[in-house]
Amino acid sequence: MARYQLDARRLFCPMPVIRTQNKVAELQPGDVLEVTCTDPGALNDIPAWCRINGHRVLGSRREGNEVVIEVEVGDGA
């Protein structure tokens, strides 16, 4: 398992999800991707994308104006 970070700040829907999808496609099952966004909609959009595609949200939090979501890559990558 490896940890990666994705900076999706200053991007609006649907770009945080698209960037997350593109990065996850490069990773291995079990890897963890930490996505940092400024679009508050990502709190709903990225977990919904994960459910559909077999990935797991390990946690999410707000840090000021930013949203941070940790995604564990599943076998559906």
13 is catalytic: yes
How many Å separate Cα 66 from the centre of its chain?
A: 13
Which residue shows structure tokens 């940092």?
Answer: 36
Q: Of the residues 4, 9, 11, 13, which is catalytic?
A: 13
Q: Structure tokens of 4? A: 């990666």
User: Environment class of residue 72 by beta-carbon count within 10 Å: exposed (0-12), middle (13-18) or buried (19+)?
Assistant: middle
Task: Give the residue numbers marked as catalytic.
Answer: 13
